[in-house]
Amino acid sequence: MNNNCPTHLTIGRKYFYFSQDIMYFEGSINYTFVHLQTGRKDVMAQTIGRVATKTDEGFVRISRKHLVNRQYIRVVHRDYVELLDKSILPIARRRRGNL
């Protein structure tokens, strides 16, 4: 895949994003929060599992609640990842091998 070509991500009928604009997804029961690189936070009525099936290989599931865009990971520690904006997200024990 060419990094200069933006990847268009469509989730459901209403949600359209470019994958390079999304830092991470955060699941909360039947809703998913989209954390964008601009600092904006959107909410969608989709489970994070459904969102994960719509994303490309640039995203990695690090816990039951978090799906992270690999290009925004700054440092990977044993129990957590630090993103470029200094956000700290926990890594589940069973998901450590994904990184």
Indicate which CATH number applies to the domain containing 87.
2.40.50.1020
Q: Is residue 91 part of a domain?
A: yes
Residue 82: pLDDT band with limits 50, 70, 90: very high
Domain range enclosing 91: 8-98
Beta-carbon contacts of residue 54 (< 8 Å; ≥ 6 apart): 9, 10, 11
Q: Is residue 2 part of a domain?
A: no
Number of domains in the chain: 1
Please state, in angstroms and rounded to a whole number, the distance separating the CA atoms of residues 86 and 3: 24
37-58 confidence digits (pLDDT tens): 999 999 999 999 999 998 888 8
Q: Is residue 26 part of a domain?
A: yes
Q: Is residue 84 part of a domain?
A: yes
3-47 confidence digits (pLDDT tens): 555 566 766 667 788 888 999 999 999 999 999 999 999 999 999
Q: Is residue 31 part of a domain?
A: yes
Q: Closest Cα to residue 11, out of 72, 74, 81, 59?
A: 59
CB 20 within 8 A of CB 30: no
Break the chain down into helix, strand, coil percent, rounded to 5: 20, 45, 35
